[in-house]
Amino acid sequence: MSAGSQRFGRYALNGAAGLSLGFILLPLIFVTWLAFFRQEIPSFPPEGYSLKWFAGAANNKPFIDGFMLSLQVAVASTLIGLLLGVPASLALVRHRIPLGGGVSTLLLLPLVMPGIVLGTATYVFQIEVEIATQLPVMGSLGGLIAAHTLVVIPWVVRLVTASLVGFDRSIEEAAQNLGAGPVTTFWRVTLPSIRPGIVAAALFGFVTSFGNLEMSLFLVGPGRTTLPIAILQYLEWKIDPTVAAASLIQIVLICVAMIVTDRYVKLSRVV
């Protein structure tokens, strides 16, 4: 290949990468910009800049309540998802379980299922359970957490399985040879070795749950809305930059979580 066409190839690649990156970042840039507009109805060019919408978002009761609920649900479903997903991954990788391939596909399914379908199915299921057991499942916090756990599990299974596949089992044998029983071996050797996968799984599970809108729409009860739903409801009546400000706060929080996690675990290595 000549130097000229090589240079052309490099420009073309950089150009395409730049375009894609722009396509991804443009909405984020606009949300960020919009959050600082002074006027209520967004129009260009902005009439001036202000921080009042941040104050508005922070004082908006539905947003605060939604944030607290989303946080609660995301933390709980991430923890439960880890408790179920880590042992499931261990079983799938380590043991020959009957229909292992099927089980593994089933555990990953919520990831590819459209949110609306998942929401409808869970909604119908929870109603049936409520009718059958007479327990208040529908619209309860427990019901919401259970549903969110469902979308956390695929992340846990995928990321933990990936870190288990490259795991040299002789280090577990080494621990046992040195006098460690199975439980000690698991806590001292197995778990620390797959920690990057677990941390990444927790982060992605948390973000997925925290931002989930479609499925949650079916499952929230009266007076109990998650942040994405609160934002959606606000947008039905107003289009002022309060929503942009709330979104920007969320983006910043998630970015901080990613950066902090990346200090302990190189995310690029597990994802």
Residue length of the chain: 271
Specify the residue, 93 or 249, whose C-beta has the smaller distance to another protein.
Answer: 93
Among 176, 235, 256, 259, binds another protein (CB under 8 A): 176
Q: Is 174 in the site for another protein (CB under 8 A)?
A: yes
Specify the residue, 105 or 184, whose C-beta has the smaller distance to another protein.
Answer: 184
Other CB atoms within a 10 A radius of the CB of residue 227 amount to: 27
Question: Using CA atoms, how far apart are residues 64 and 58, in angstroms rounded to an integer?
Answer: 7
| Start-to-end CA span in the chain (Å) | 34
Among 12, 184, 221, 255, binds another protein (CB under 8 A): 184
* Cβ neighbourhood burial of 198 (10 Å; 0-12, 13-18, 19+): buried
Q: Which residue has the tokens 């420009």?
A: 11
| Shortest reach from residue 189's CB to another protein, in Å | 6
Q: Is 48 in the site for another protein (CB under 8 A)?
A: no
Q: Which residue has the tokens 């706060």?
A: 249
Q: Is 186 in the site for another protein (CB under 8 A)?
A: no
Question: Using CA atoms, how far apart are residues 182 and 193, in angstroms rounded to an integer?
Answer: 15
Q: Is 199 in the site for another protein (CB under 8 A)?
A: no
| Shortest reach from residue 191's CB to another protein, in Å | 10
DSSP 39-50: SSS--SS-S-B-
Specify the residue, 178 or 252, whose C-beta has the smaller distance to another protein.
Answer: 178
DSSP 191-208: HHHTHHHHHHHHHHHHHH
* Of residues 189, 118, 181, the one with CA closest to residue 154: 118
Specify the residue, 168 or 236, whose C-beta has the smaller distance to another protein.
Answer: 168
Specify the residue, 164 or 175, whose C-beta has the smaller distance to another protein.
Answer: 175
Piece in contact with another protein (CB under 8 A), picked from 42-50, 52-60, 72-80, 178-186 = 178-186
Q: Is 165 in the site for another protein (CB under 8 A)?
A: no
Q: Is 86 in the site for another protein (CB under 8 A)?
A: no
Q: Is 107 in the site for another protein (CB under 8 A)?
A: no
Q: Is 178 in the site for another protein (CB under 8 A)?
A: yes
What residues pair up with 37 in beta bridges, in sequence order? 49
Which residues contact another protein by CB under 8 A? Answer: 168, 170-171, 173-181, 184, 188-189, 192-193, 195
